[in-house]
Amino acid sequence: MSQTPSPDRPTTRRHSWAEPYKIKMVEPLQVTSRAERESALAGAGWNTFLLRSRDVYIDLLTDSGTNAMSQEQWAALMLGDEAYAGSESFYRLERTIQEVYGYPFVVPTHQGRGAEHIISQVLISPGDVVPGNMYFTTTRLHQELAGAAFVDVIVDEAHDPASEHPFKGDVDLDKLQRVIDEHGAERIPYVSIAVTVNMAGGQPMSLANIVAVRELCDRNGVPLYCDITRIAENAWFIREREPGCAQLSVAEIVRRICDLTDGAWMSAKKDALVNIGGFLAVRDEGVFDEARNLCVVYEGLHTYGGLAGRDMEAIAQGIRESIAQAHLDARIGQVHYLGQQLVREGVPVVRPLGGHAVFLDAAGILAHLPQDQFPAQRLAGELYLEAGVRTMERGIVSAGRDPRTGEHRRPRLELVRITIPRRVYTQAHMDVTADAVLAVWDRRASVGGLDMTFEPKYLRFFQARFAPR
Ligand code: PLI
């Protein structure tokens, strides 16, 4: 049987993406009635973040902290050294990060945004400009709170849900050079890249582009820092799609990416297969000294950073599991299994399918609604009403307001993210989810908009409230 090359599915292997594990412990799920869901959604102000998890059947809100740990991770918890200072668990985590990612200096943090806070405070001065490959909500907020303006320098294709560009996470080198020329290299504390790019649809960067960004940074004397939250998934795509990379292992690609950067932050709650944790890892000893000094102010002592010793043990084990080829085949295979069902039925989704989620193009699905009526927020609500499936808005609500003008930021992408936790749900759960999307797709013409009735100041998507118009 020959296969047509597609950016969404591996063509190099013919076996299925069946999970390389079996299930030892189960957690019951509750199916609710439509009336119960209507009441829960109204109570949550049509914000899926404000639902109680007991009211959710299949929870595809996020892949963050929602992963299932392995027996090795659960066993590692028992080895946690809970010393306040000098915990052995910290040194095991530090050694793992040094070996897998190659950074010499490690600062543990309670989760990704703790690391974003510290690196932003250390590197940014008020009035600085930080270019990056599309914003991420918490990353940009910490850069702004430190006094910088974020400038998007991702390739144009990233803003087009239909573009089949295989590396929609790539930086547009001309855009990046223009930002540096316009503001001067001395106003750019670092270039901020992410692998993969969450808000673009879980889209990867190519190794060639990271090499080119590094060269451009070197020419201009600007450091390069990377959000490696989903680096293993990015490496999987590079191995699948980038010419000349099929012979490399995911571990080798991960290491090559890190070797091109001056430092990184990670939310361990994603790739690293744990429920809590993060870290900052850098090469410059001066940056490290300041970072671990701020760690004791905001996170905890620099050998635990807001984590229990057992958490650090689980992260160290999870990092090693995260780069296993069979794990990533199954993880991304499951995401694509769901996505392909929607693609086959003509539902507009972000193309090519990404690493951690299927992103519905809400602007395409609810094309009759203006962006001011929050089509993606509404669509996420409708999916919950349909089948108790919880998803997340990634559009105008997530983009927030411009701090200078107070106006809504209007992203071109108005998306609903159907996010798949790692090693948690089955193929049948994906089928139920696809059916729910198709049911809403069939009745899309009758779906109305929303008004925002409450808007918090920071990261409004977490706590805003809405009502049907
Ligand atoms: O949620 P944290 O604080 O552990 O990590 C923040 C964070 C940083 N970078 C990236 C790329 C993320 O995706 C990220 C968190 N993402 C969440 C919570 C998500 O649902 O995608």
Domain ranges in the chain?
34-56+325-468, 71-322
- pLDDT recorded at residue 16: 80
Backbone angles phi, psi at 9, to 5 degrees: -125, 140
Q: Is the pTM of this model over 0.75?
A: yes
Neighbours of 405 (CB within 10 A): 8
> Over the chain (469 residues), what is each successive 10-residue block's mean pLDDT?
48 72 96 98 98 98 98 98 98 98 98 98 98 97 98 98 98 98 98 97 98 98 98 98 98 98 98 98 98 98 98 98 98 98 98 98 98 98 98 97 94 97 98 98 98 97 97
Phi, psi of 354 (to 5 degrees): -95, -160
Residues 6+ apart with CB under 8 A from 371: 363, 395, 396, 410, 414
pLDDT tens, position by position, 392-434: 999 999 999 998 999 999 999 999 999 999 999 999 999 999 9
Task: Decide: helix, strand or coil at residue 59.
Answer: strand
Dist. CA 119–CA 105, nearest whole Å: 13
Strand partners, 154: 171
Q: Which of 116, 119, 136 for mutating ligand 1's site (highest number of atoms within 8 Å of CB)? A: 136
- Give the Cβ contact number of residue 292 at 10 Å: 22
Q: What is the position in ligand 1's atom list of the atom closest to the CA of 196? A: 11
Q: Which CATH number is 34-56+325-468's, of 3.50.50.60, 2.10.109.10, 3.40.50.880, 3.90.1150.10?
A: 3.90.1150.10
- Tracing tokens 């998507």 back to the chain, one arrives at 461
C-alpha of residue 137 to centroid of ligand 1, in Å: 8
Before 196, cis peptide (omega within 30)?
Answer: yes
Strands 224-227 and 263-267: parallel
Measured over the CA atoms of residue 78, residue 53, residue 373 and residue 451, the dihedral's sign is negative
Shortest-distance atom of ligand 1 to CA 114: 3
Dihedral over alpha carbons 423, 425, 426, 431 (to 10 degrees): -140
Of residues 391, 386, 385, 409, the one with CA closest to residue 349: 391
Per the structure block, which two tokens stand in for 375?
Answer: 């089509």
CB 161 within 8 A of CB 359: yes
What was the pLDDT predicted at 1? 33
Ligand 1: residues within 6 Å at CB?
A: 62, 64, 111-113, 136, 138-139, 194, 198, 227, 229, 267, 269, 278
- Which of 229, 231, 416, 417 gets mutated to test ligand 1 (max ligand atoms within 8 A of its CB)? 229
The preferred substitution site among 63, 111, 267 for testing ligand 1, maximizing ligand atoms within 8 Å of CB, is 267
Q: How remote is the C-alpha of 463 from its chain's centroid?
A: 19
Contact partners, residue 263, CB within 8 Å, separation at least 6: 103, 119, 223, 225, 226, 280, 281, 282, 283, 284, 287
List, by residue number, the catalytic residues. Answer: 84, 136-137, 227, 270, 394, 461
Closest among 88, 116, 90, 120 to 105, alpha carbons compared: 90
pLDDT of the residue at 15: 63
Q: Which ranges of 124-200 does DSSP label H, i.e. alpha helix?
A: 137-145, 173-183
CATH of region 71-322 = 3.40.640.10
Q: pLDDT by residue (tens digit) across 98-155?
A: 999 999 999 999 999 999 999 999 999 999 999 999 999 999 999 999 999 999 999 9
Rounded Cα distance, 188 and 222, in Å: 7
| Nearby residues of 15 by Cβ (< 8 Å), 6 or more positions away | none
